């Protein structure tokens, strides 16, 4: 996958366009690089893990692999999903370990022009700034792009959460 290169003067080098899967989370759209997505799952049976960080919702069995489920709402400081609604999952990999990101719903795959990309506004919530690569200016809305690796780098975060 082509990485976006941000120059020192904050402008983005145009390298064409990138593909993203959009997801919905508490009304907000977010993008995940399409190549990072391994699977999209409907609601799964999740085994809860006591004493785990709050944003780890449990583990699930994906074709014989044990996948750690991350509650993306909690991770990003959003209120929990209303009762009765089931979340979907996007399976990504980090350090050769599979993780399932619990989200509200999956949108579409968008091919976005690099020229629409912008760095995070400095005023963005820290929880978001840490995991967002930057933001695409879409016609109707703004699309922050999730950095999967940062999202799952948990050391300091795990303790803080």
Partner 1 sequence: MDDLLNEFLTETNEAIDVVDVELVKLEQEPNNKEVLDNIFRLVHTIKGTCGFLGLPRLESVAHASENVLGKFRDGDLKVNEHAVTVILESLDQIKEILAGLEATEQEPAGDDTDLIGRLDAIAEGGDGSAPVRKPDVVDGEIIDPGLGRSLKAGEVSLEELEAVFANTPGPEAETVDPEPASAAMSADVSLFDRMGGEDAIAVASHLIGSRLANHKELGTFFGSVPADQRKAKFMGLMLALFKDDIDAAENVGKLLVSEAGFGDDEFDALMKVMTETFTECQVAEEVVNEAIMTFELVREAITASSNEVVPAVADKPGEATGPGAAAPVAGAPTGGPSRATQSIRVSVDLLEDLMNMVSELVLTRNQLLQITREMDNSELAAPLQRLSQCTTELQENVMKTRMQPIGNAWAKLPRVVRDLTVELDKKIELEMVGSDTELDRQVLELIKDPLTHMVRNSADHAIESPAERIALGKTEHGTITLKAYHEGGHIILEIKDDGRGIDAQKLLPKIIEKGLATAAELADMSEGQIQKFIFNPGFSTAEKVTSVSGRGVGMDVVRSNIEKIGGTIDMVSIVGKGSTFKIKIPLTLAIVAGLIVKAKDERYAIPQISVLELVRASANSEHRIENIKDTPVLRLRNRLLPLVYLNEILGLNDDDDDDDDEREKKDDFIVVSQVGPFTFGIVVDRVFDTEEIVVKPLAPILKDIEIFSGNTILGDGSVIMILDPNGIAALTSADASDHEDEEEQEREVKRKAASNTIESVLVFTAGVETPKAVPLGLVARLEEIDVEDVEISDGKYLVQYREQLMPLIFADPSMKMMEKGRQPVLVFTDREYTMGLVVDTIRDIVEDELDIKLASEKPGVVGSAVINGKATEVIDVAHYLGLAFSDWLNSGDTNDATAPTEGAHLLLVDDSDFFRNMLKPVLTVAGYDVVTVNSGAAAIALRDDGHMFDLIVSDIEMPDMDGFELAQNIRSEGIWQDLPLIALSALASARDINRGHEAGFDDYVAKFDKETLLRSLSQQLQIKGTAA
Which residues here bind partner 1, judged by CB under 8 A? 45, 47-53, 56, 59-61, 63-66, 68, 95, 97, 99, 152, 154, 158
Shortest approach of partner 1 to residue 99 CB, angstroms?
A: 7
Residue with smaller CB distance to partner 1, 99 or 136 = 99
DSSP-assigned letters across all residues of 88-148: EEEEEEETTEEEEEEESEEEEEEEEEGGGEEPPPTTS-HHHHHHEEEEEE-SSSEEEEE-H
Residue with smaller CB distance to partner 1, 50 or 84 = 50
Cα angle for residues 97, 36, 151 (degrees, 5° grid): 65
Residue with smaller CB distance to partner 1, 67 or 106 = 67
Shortest approach of partner 1 to residue 37 CB, angstroms?
A: 18
Shortest approach of partner 1 to residue 46 CB, angstroms?
A: 8
Query: Is 65 strand, coil or helix?
Result: strand
Residue with smaller CB distance to partner 1, 118 or 154 = 154
Shortest approach of partner 1 to residue 129 CB, angstroms?
A: 21
**Tokens, residue 42:** 């409907």
Cα angle for residues 15, 148, 34 (degrees, 5° grid): 50
Shortest approach of partner 1 to residue 70 CB, angstroms?
A: 8
Residue with smaller CB distance to partner 1, 39 or 141 = 39
């Amino acid at each position: 996958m082509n990485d976006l290169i941000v120059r020192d003067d904050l402008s983005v080098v145009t390298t064409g366009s990138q593909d993203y899967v959009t997801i919905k989370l508490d009304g907000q759209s977010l993008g995940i690089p399409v190549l990072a997505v391994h699977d999209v799952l409907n609601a799964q049976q999740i085994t809860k893990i006591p004493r785990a960080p709050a944003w780890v919702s449990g583990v699930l069995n994906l074709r014989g692999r044990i996948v750690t489920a991350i509650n993306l709402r909690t991770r990003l400081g959003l209120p929990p999903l209303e009762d009765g609604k089931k979340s979907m999952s996007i399976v990504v990999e980090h350090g050769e370990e599979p993780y399932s990101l619990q989200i509200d719903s999956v949108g579409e795959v968008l091919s976005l022009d690099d020229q629409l990309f912008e760095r995070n506004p400095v005023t963005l919530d820290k929880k978001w700034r840490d995991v967002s690569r930057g933001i695409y200016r879409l016609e109707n809305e703004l699309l922050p792009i999730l950095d999967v690796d940062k999202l799952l780098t948990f050391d300091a975060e795990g303790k803080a959460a």
